[in-house]
Amino acid sequence: MTDLLALNSIRGKSGKDTLIGLLESEGRTVFRVAFADILKKQCAEVLCGGQGFAERYEQEMHSGVKDRPQNGLAIQFIPNSNYRGWLWLKSGEDREEPRSLRWHLQKYGTEYRREFCKEPDVWLDLGMLEVRKGLDLGVDHVVVTDLRLPNEFKALTKGAHTQQPNPNAFSWSVPKVRTVRIVRDWFIPGVDDPAYHISDIALLAHPFDALVVNRLGEPWAMLDQLKEQGVIN
């Protein structure tokens, strides 16, 4: 039976993709799911405003570039959209300050779509369809790489049914999930110094099945820790 692992980290560059690589290095088959992948695609399209470089933004959102403030991402310079209008009128936002792609992902994904637009499960519903796809493939592990919010935690750990975006899609429940928090034990400038966003710490008090420490220079030890804590065989 396919194992379903859900990974959480408070900060970026924690080692989640490295952990997936370690699983694969042992000959295990892995299907990777990131709830944020669809968010990244849609946010990139909004930020480019049909100007033809959404693919570049999307690629940068999967790299360290996403943490780098850019003048062109200041509120006053992004293309007109409902999202920009919301930011423009939002109290306390500096319209001229350079912003990073990560900043926009957090603003667009959580504060704008989930809260302001009242779509709390928008990224969960789309991500769950990908989880089901992985389970149907019969791989060794389906790994959710970005468990970040309470509705995601509940849907995965409780096997909850979710409202699918497609009204013709069927409801389903997931098998038992092993939740894993990964903590990196060194500081990365530009990643660790910004203020926490609500999506960074929303699961801080939630119980996890395992805690994995990614120690500098010892990435392989993460796999050993999973085995020691009974998450994988």
Q: State mean pLDDT over 2-23.
A: 94
Give this prediction's pTM. 0.75
pLDDT-based confidence at 168, cuts 50/70/90? very low
Position 159 scores a pLDDT of: 58
Under the banding of pLDDT at 50, 70 and 90, the label for residue 162 is very low
pLDDT band, very low/low/confident/very high, at 98 (cuts 50, 70, 90): very high
Gap between the Cα atoms of 117 and 188, Å rounded? 33
Which residues in 106-126 are b (16+ Cβ under 10 Å) and which e?
bbbbbbbbbeeeeeebbbbbb
What's the structural domain count of the chain? Answer: 2
Instruction: Count Cβ atoms below 10 Å from residue 11 Cβ, excluding itself.
Output: 16
What pLDDT does 171 receive?
A: 46
Residue 169 is predicted with a pLDDT of 42
Do 93 and 136 have their domain in common?
no
Does the pLDDT at position 115 exceed 70?
Answer: yes
Segment 163-187 shows an average pLDDT of 70
Q: Is the pLDDT of residue 52 over 90?
A: no
Q: HSE on the CB side for 81, CA within 13 Å?
A: 19
pLDDT at residue 86 greater than cutoff 90: yes
Q: What is the DSSP string of 108-147?
A: IIIIIIIIIS--TTHHHHHHHHHHHHHHHHT-SEEEES--
What is the rounded average pLDDT for all residues in the chain? 89
Q: Which of 6-20, 58-72, 163-177 has the lowest mean pLDDT?
A: 163-177
- pLDDT reading at 231 higher than 60: yes
Outline where 179-218 has alpha helix (H): 198-201
130 and 107 within one domain: no
In a domain, 233, yes or no: no
Give residue 30's domain range: 3-36+120-228
10 Å Cβ neighbour count for 17?
15
Q: Which of 92, 116, 140 is the endpoint of a domain?
A: 116
Predicted confidence (pLDDT) per residue in 198-228, tens digit: 889 999 999 999 999 999 999 999 999 999 9
Question: What is the percent of the chain with per-residue pLDDT over 70, rounded to a whole number?
Answer: 93
Are both 111 and 222 inside the same structural domain?
Answer: no
Residue 79 domain flag? yes
pLDDT class of 196 with cuts at 50, 70, 90: very high
Domain co-membership, 105 together with 131: no
Decide if 48 is inside a domain.
Answer: yes
pLDDT at 161: 42
Strongest mean pLDDT among 37-51, 73-87, 159-173: 73-87
Which pLDDT tens digit goes with each residue over 122-135?
988 888 889 989 98
